[in-house]
């Protein structure tokens, strides 16, 4: 299959591309910026064909679809996922990329001159989670009300997912599905893990005991590849459907990171602050960034946004049975941060660990 990955310069998109290429698919990456060289041998050029362009530019999309002759598309381009990107000042860009960009991509892919038959959309737990506890939820849950979300990222991803699923089957040849991912972790991840590791020297307390889910990069990749292949071969089963994707085993948020904290030589915090007090800190931090951002250093970003506080302090986890049944999703190395720990010990000049404390909570 010829596959175009929109957002292929990002962590998830690039690794999906590598796996698809290893399975003999023809892959083209499309993004504003090429993949980070840390994800491949720095002495080499990007191992996959890469085309520079914007999801907001119709000529760019038409050109890359024409050049790639794509039959399948994986859409993982997004903005506004974390930190200061969730501030209201960034809302217009978030909405443009996540909603307008998705709408434009769907228009081009489903057009009469397009060769695309299958599109897999990278979505998020946030489309159904906002602030209410969810235990063992499934795909029958309704979308979380847009007006109750704390961030434009969640709002825009919810709107975009509905556009994607509504477009499935509108013409006989074009079908879509959506993968709702938990937080993605893995070696080389550059959005969340660097912030977490940088905060460890100052980590003297924790908060809450929420049970949540994460997904390792290998499992996120596996889900996309299997979903795309199934959608291409059997659209009657997968077309128009949404799926929760995670490692499958709920774990307390802090316990998930405990092997990393202790493995890097830091003390696991024993003090537990009330979540209400954390809300005061987070809202004050957001206020100072809004008012004094340019002076105070908006480039530093927020340690936690309100949406991130909710994600880490309110229990929410979902069944992955539907993905298992429909396209054979089978997570491996569940809740495993051993590779990440090895990566950061090497960066910090520490010797490799002979034993690793595994997440078995």
- Over the stretch 333-351, which tens digit does the pLDDT of each residue have? 999 999 999 999 999 998 8
Write out the two tokens for 297. 């250093």
What pLDDT does residue 357 have? 65
CA 279 – CA 285 distance, rounded (Å): 10
CA 87 – CA 301 distance, rounded (Å): 10
Beta carbons of 97 and 77 less than 8 angstroms apart: yes
Write out the two tokens for 59. 């000529």
Region for residue 241 given its phi and psi (left: phi exceeds 0; alpha: psi -120 to 50; beta: otherwise): beta
Confidence of residue 288 (pLDDT cuts 50, 70, 90): confident
Q: What does the pLDDT average to over 312-320?
A: 97
Q: Is the pLDDT of residue 5 over 80?
A: yes
CA 335 – CA 147 distance, rounded (Å): 33
Residue 151 within any structural domain of the chain: yes
Torsion of the alpha carbons at 247, 39, 99 and 51, rounded to the nearest 10: -140
* Burial class (CB within 10 angstroms; exposed 0-12, middle 13-18, buried 19+) of 135: exposed
Confidence of residue 191 (pLDDT cuts 50, 70, 90): confident
Confidence of residue 310 (pLDDT cuts 50, 70, 90): very high
Query: Active-site residue numbers?
Result: 153
Q: Is the pLDDT of residue 26 over 80?
A: yes
- What rounded mean pLDDT belongs to the chain? 91
Residue 258 within any structural domain of the chain: no
Q: What does the pLDDT average to over 192-211?
A: 91
What pLDDT does residue 15 have? 98
Q: How many domains does the chain have?
A: 1
CA atoms 244, 246, 252, 253: torsion sign: negative
Q: Is the pLDDT of residue 302 over 60?
A: no
Residue 128 within any structural domain of the chain: yes
Confidence of residue 299 (pLDDT cuts 50, 70, 90): very low
- Structural domain harbouring 241: 2-186+213-246+317-333
Lowest mean pLDDT among 23-27, 157-161, 170-174, 187-191: 170-174
Beta carbons of 156 and 95 less than 8 angstroms apart: yes
CA 143 – CA 158 distance, rounded (Å): 7
Can you name the residues that pair with 121 across neighbouring β-strands?
A: 75, 178
Confidence of residue 80 (pLDDT cuts 50, 70, 90): confident
Q: Is the pLDDT of residue 29 over 60?
A: yes
**H helices within the chain, ranges in order?**
11-22, 58-68, 91-95, 102-109, 152-166, 193-199, 217-233, 235-238, 253-263, 275-296, 306-313, 321-327, 338-347
CATH number at residue 172: 3.40.50.720
Residue 109 within any structural domain of the chain: yes
- By DSSP bridging, strand 241-245 and strand 175-181 are parallel
Q: What is the pLDDT of residues 46-66, one digit of tens each?
A: 889 999 999 999 999 999 999
Q: Can you tell me which residue has the tokens 């795309």?
A: 228
What pLDDT does residue 69 have? 96
Q: Is the pLDDT of residue 274 over 60?
A: yes
Q: Could you tell me which of 198, 209, 175 has the C-alpha nearest to residue 344? A: 198
Q: What does the pLDDT average to over 205-228?
A: 96
Q: Is the pLDDT of residue 168 over 80?
A: yes
Residue 310 within any structural domain of the chain: no
What pLDDT does residue 85 have? 59
What count of residues does the chain have?
A: 361
Torsion of the alpha carbons at 73, 74, 79 and 81, rounded to the nearest 10: 160
Residue 147 within any structural domain of the chain: yes
Residue 86 within any structural domain of the chain: yes
Long-range contacts, 57-64 (Cβ 8 Å, 24+): 58/104, 58/108, 60/30, 61/104, 61/105, 61/108, 62/108, 64/4, 64/28, 64/30
Confidence of residue 358 (pLDDT cuts 50, 70, 90): low
Q: Can you tell me which residue has the tokens 């054979």?
A: 328
Residue 270 within any structural domain of the chain: no
Can you name the residues that pair with 4 across neighbouring β-strands?
A: 28, 73
Confidence of residue 301 (pLDDT cuts 50, 70, 90): very low
Confidence of residue 293 (pLDDT cuts 50, 70, 90): low
Percentage of the chain surpassing pLDDT 70?
A: 91
């Amino acid at each position: 299959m010829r596959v175009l990955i929109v957002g292929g310069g990002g962590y998830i998109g690039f690794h999906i591309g590598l796996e698809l290429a290893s399975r003999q698919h023809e892959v083209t990456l499309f993004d504003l910026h090429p993949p980070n060289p840390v994800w491949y041998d720095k002495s080499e050029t990007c191992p996959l064909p890469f085309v520079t362009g914007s999801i907001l530019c119709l000529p760019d999309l038409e050109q890359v679809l024409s050049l790639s002759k794509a039959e399948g598309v994986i859409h993982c381009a997004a903005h506004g996922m974390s930190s200061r990107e969730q501030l209201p000042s960034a809302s217009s860009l978030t909405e443009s990329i996540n909603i307008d960009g998705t709408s434009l991509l769907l228009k081009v892919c489903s057009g009469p001159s397009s060769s695309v038959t299958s599109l897999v959309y990278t979505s998020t737990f946030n489309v159904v989670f906002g602030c209410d506890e969810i235990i063992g939820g499934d795909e029958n849950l309704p979308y979380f009300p847009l007006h109750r979300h704390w961030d434009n990222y969640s709002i825009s991803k919810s709107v975009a997912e509905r556009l994607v699923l509504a477009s499935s089957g509108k013409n006989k040849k074009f079908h879509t599905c959506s993968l709702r991912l938990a937080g993605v972790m893995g070696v080389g991840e550059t959005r969340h893990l660097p912030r977490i590791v940088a905060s460890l020297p100052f980590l003297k307390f924790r908060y809450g005991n929420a049970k949540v889910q994460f997904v390792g990069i290998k499992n996120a990749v596996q889900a996309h590849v299997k979903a795309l292949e199934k959608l291409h071969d059997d659209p009657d089963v997968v077309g128009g459907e949404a799926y929760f994707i995670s490692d499958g085993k709920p774990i307390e948020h802090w316990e998930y990171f405990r092997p990393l904290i202790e493995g890097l030589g830091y003390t696991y915090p024993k003090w537990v602050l009330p979540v209400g007090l954390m809300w005061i800190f987070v809202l004050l931090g957001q206020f100072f960034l809004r008012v004094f951002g340019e002076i105070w250093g908006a480039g530093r970003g927020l340690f936690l946004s309100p949406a991130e506080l909710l994600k880490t302090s309110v229990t929410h986890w979902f069944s992955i049975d539907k993905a298992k049944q429909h396209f054979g999703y089978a997570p491996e190395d569940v809740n495993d941060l051993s590779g990440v720990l090895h990566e950061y010990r090497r960066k910090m000049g520490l010797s490799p660990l002979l034993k690793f404390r595994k997440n078995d909570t």
